[in-house]
């Protein structure tokens, strides 16, 4: 790769709806953007099944297919796509530098951060041990559901993700029990109704999973320990799999101490803009959005970031 290939007007970190949309807009503005993405190309939609609420697809579309279309559209307009894990960014001087684990350093006049968010875990010691051994603890029903045919499963969480996962898992499981820490779901009415009406799904309210059990350390889940948060009573609940659906955390490790984060850890951008506190650095998608977190809003802010970057480059005599 020549020095020229290592520099770009607009570097986009991340390949979810925000990243690809930023790429489409920047590429159509003749800015020859580069998308740098890690191994999880396509972001969170790669882990979902049917997306029913992305406008333009009357009958829905599978998440991975939607991401394939986004990428193809970005590529069609000349986006350079590089798979490399970014390990460090230097935002103290321009051009900015993005260091990667395997492909050396890249520089850019403007940076669009679209690194998204990822699933949170309960982080119980046995959860981690059994999860890492592939023993039946997962945060992705779409990825792992098929491994749990004819099992009784537990899903933790009360949001849309938990309802979606529980519903999806009933394709395989004999029974799905949703464990929620309150007595009211956070999920939207349509998702909650779908789950409560599903005869294979039942609910355990006001309860937390406080441990994951295997048999003689064989790292294969056999039960979870539930604690009723009101009575503090603990019970063993037999199950063949545990799916954790308690929300997501933004992927901001590269930017800690360099850019401002809010109380939940999401990158802070100016009101009605994707600008961060560093001129020329923009953030879009779930990494800066703890409120809406939808594919369509991520795509919308990706568009905004590309337009913001284009205008900033123009005003600063770069990007030609
Ligand atoms: P949410 O933050 O909406 O929900 C997380 C759930 O997990 C809450 O019920 C929360 O409880 C519970 N929870 C959080 N931490 C813990 C913990 N440590 N222990 C036990 N329970 C915990 O996240 P989701 O991933 O469900 O949804 C994120 C966004 O994505 C939402 O805006 C949602 O609407 C959207 N989404 C939309 C879908 C669709 O429309 N098809 C599908 C999936 C997600 P509590 O309620 O008490 O806070």
Residue 50 pLDDT > 80: no
- Cβ of residue 161 lying under 6 Å from some atom of ligand 1: yes
State yes or no: pLDDT of 249 exceeds 70: yes
Residue closest via CA to ligand 1's atom 35 equals 160
Confidence band, pLDDT 50/70/90 cuts, at residue 291:
confident
Cβ neighbors of 4 (< 8 A, separation 6 or more) are none
Q: What is the pTM of this model?
A: 0.78
Tens of pLDDT along 91-123?
Answer: 999 999 999 999 999 999 999 999 999 889 999
Burial 208-231 (b: 16+ CB within 10 A, else e): bbebbebeeeebebbbbbbbeeee
What does the pLDDT read at residue 5? 86
Q: Is 200 in the pocket of ligand 1 (CB under 6 A)?
A: no
CA 189–ligand 1 middle distance (angstroms): 13
Q: Is the pLDDT of residue 53 over 90?
A: no
In ligand 1, the atom with minimum distance to the C-alpha of 120 is 15
Predicted confidence at residue 3, as pLDDT, reads 60
pLDDT digit string (tens) for 202-242?
Answer: 999 999 999 999 999 999 999 999 999 999 999 999 999 99
Separation CA 211–CA 196 (nearest Å): 26
Told to judge if 143 belongs to the known catalytic residues of this protein, a careful annotator would answer: yes
Q: Identify the pLDDT of residue 1.
A: 61
Cα dist from 252 to 28, 63, 82, 118, 172, whole Å = 28, 23, 20, 11, 35
Domains and CATH numbers, the chain: 4-118+248-315 (3.50.50.60), 121-244 (3.50.50.60)
Cα(149) to centroid of ligand 1, in Å?
A: 25
pLDDT of residue 253: 97
Which of 144, 160, 286, 289 is labelled catalytic? 144
| Ligand 1 pocket: which of 16, 160, 210, 292 to mutate (most atoms within 8 A of CB) | 160
Is the C-beta atom of 234 inside 6 A of ligand 1?
A: no
């Amino acid at each position: 790769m020549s020095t020229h290939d290592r520099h770009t007007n607009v570097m986009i970190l991340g390949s979810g709806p925000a990243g690809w949309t930023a790429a489409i807009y920047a590429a159509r503005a003749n800015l020859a953007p580069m998308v740098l993405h890690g191994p999880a190309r396509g972001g969170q939609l790669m882990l979902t099944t049917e997306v029913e609420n992305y406008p333009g697809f009357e009958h829905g579309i599978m998440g991975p297919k939607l991401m394939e279309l986004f990428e193809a559209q970005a590529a069609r307009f000349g986006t350079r796509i590089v798979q490399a894990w970014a390990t460090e960014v230097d935002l103290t001087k321009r051009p900015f530098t993005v260091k990667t684990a395997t492909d050396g350093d890249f520089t850019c006049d403007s940076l669009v951060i679209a690194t998204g968010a990822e699933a949170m875990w309960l982080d119980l010691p046995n959860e981690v041990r059994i999860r890492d051994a592939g023993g039946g603890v997962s945060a992705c029903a779409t990825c792992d559901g098929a491994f749990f045919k004819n099992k009784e499963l537990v899903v933790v969480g009360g949001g849309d993700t938990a309802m979606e996962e529980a519903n999806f898992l009933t394709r395989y499981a004999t029974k799905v029990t949703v464990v929620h820490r309150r007595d009211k779901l956070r999920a939207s009415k349509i998702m909650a109704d779908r789950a409560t009406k599903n005869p294979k799904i039942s609910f355990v309210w006001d309860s937390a999973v406080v441990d994951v059990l295997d048999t003689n350390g064989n790292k294969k889940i056999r039960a979870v320990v539930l604690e009723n948060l009101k009575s503090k009573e603990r019970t063993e609940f037999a199950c063949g799999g545990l799916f954790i659906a308690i929300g997501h955390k933004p992927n901001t490790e590269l930017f800690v101490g360099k850019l401002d984060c809010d109380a939940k850890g999401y990158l802070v951008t100016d009101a009605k803009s994707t600008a961060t506190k560093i001129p020329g650095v923009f953030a879009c998608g779930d990494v800066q959005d703890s409120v809406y977190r939808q594919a369509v809003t991520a795509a919308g802010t990706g568009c905004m970031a590309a337009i913001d970057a284009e205008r900033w480059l123009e005003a600063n005599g770069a990007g030609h």
